[in-house]
Amino acid sequence: MTRPDVLLPEGAQDQPLRGRRIVLTRPLTQSGDFEERVSALGGEPVLAPAIEIVAPESWTIPDAALRRVGTYDWLVFTSANAVRMLVDRADAIGVARGQLRSRRLAVVGPATASVVRSTLRPPDFAPTVSTSEALGEESVDVDNARILLPRGSLADDTLPATLRARGAFVDEIVVYRTVPGPGVPDIAAGVRESAVDALLFASASAVRFVADALAADTATTGLRRQRWPVAACLGPVTASAARACGFQSVIVADDTTQNDLIDAVARWFGTETEGGN
């Protein structure tokens, strides 16, 4: 089930996460102030990366696209990782950031926009809903446009197919691979021992890697899905993956920042402490 995103009841404890073990599944380099913020709310923060972002098996095709980036009308980004990896690779092979900035820039949502803004400039377009479907359907001036779409190895075909159906010429390049992170076994062990109260997910791939490990545990130890901890998810796509993978309790932070997600978890447990539904 999904609990409504309610405010903490008036008079609730200043530390709504007291006694709760909160696990962040993002890569360590993206943890930000997670530990400090959770600790300030009384919780025990745990860093257990469920995914690892690694370079593609070959840079040949991405490098060729970067060297002709001036021929594209749009650069379209569907994740912060795609932004970081593309910009870092451009720096590495001597493609000036000014060439990237001179293209029109589209992003899927606020988190991606923040990285585009800090590494390049403010984006030109973002959809009304932070999904690839909305990005493909709402993007402007795409008919006959040349679009460069840097993405991860696990991305699906929804966005490029939608853009092509609208008359765009889309070049997809894989600029990173998403693989299971070193924290997955620790997460599974913690859930098995009932030592995890909430799992914080920022991507559908992290959800799937963790759910696969938990499902394997279920098959061997009889761990019931009802004992899986609450899944706190950044955005509707990640939340949808969590429900599809069998998580019974799902929290969604639609504002798609990590601090919004932590605050949503605090409201969840704060409401439980007060006896709310």
User: If the chain, 277 residues long, is cut into consecutive pieces of 10 residues, what is the mean pLDDT of each piece?
Assistant: 38 78 94 94 96 96 98 96 97 98 95 94 95 95 98 94 98 97 95 94 94 83 79 90 94 81 93 54
Pair (202, 249) in one structural domain: yes
In degrees and rounded to multiples of 5, residue 186 shows phi and psi of -65, -40
51-54/169-180 β-pairing: antiparallel
Same domain, 137 and 249: no
Q: Are residues 240 and 269 in the same domain?
A: yes
Instruction: Output the pLDDT for position 145.
Output: 98
Number of neighbours of residue 207 by Cβ within 10 angstroms: 28
* Residue 218 and residue 153 in one domain: no
> One-letter amino acid identity for 202?
A
What's the predicted TM-score (pTM) here?
A: 0.80
Number of domains in the chain: 2
Residue 3 falls within a domain, yes or no? no
Q: Which of 151, 179, 207 is the last residue of a domain?
A: 179
Q: What is the pLDDT of residue 1?
A: 31
> What does the block give as tokens for 277?
């539904």
Q: Are residues 209 and 259 in the same domain?
A: yes
Measured distance CA(229)–CA(224) in Å, rounded: 11
Both 174 and 188 in one domain: the answer is: no
**187 & 243 share domain:** yes
Is 16 domain-assigned?
Answer: no
In a domain, residue 201? The reply is: yes
Return the H-helix or E-strand segment holding 60: helix 60-67
The answer to whether residues 95 and 106 belong to one domain is: yes
Residues 6+ apart with CB under 8 A from 141: 73, 104
Q: Do residue 252 and residue 231 come from a single domain? A: yes
**Helical segments of 94-145, H only:** 97-101, 110-119, 132-138
Which domain does 148 fall in, by range?
A: 54-179
DSSP element (H, E) containing 165: helix 158-165
Residue 13 is predicted with a pLDDT of: 54
pLDDT for the residue 8: 43
Q: Helix 204-221 crosses helix 184-192 at what angle (to 10 degrees)?
A: 50
Strands (E), the chain: 21-24, 44-47, 51-54, 74-77, 104-107, 146-152, 169-180, 198-201, 230-234, 250-253
> Are residues 126 and 30 part of one domain?
no
Of the residues 130, 153, 179, the one at which a domain ends:
179
Query: What is the predicted pLDDT for the residue at 256?
Result: 63
Task: Indicate which CATH number applies to the domain containing 219.
Answer: 3.40.50.10090
| Chain centre to alpha carbon of residue 242 | 12
185, 111: one domain: no
Measured on CA atoms in the order 5, 115, 177, 126, is the torsion positive or negative? positive
Tokens representing residue 265 in the block: 């978890």
Nearest to residue 147, comparing CAs of 82, 59, 65? 65
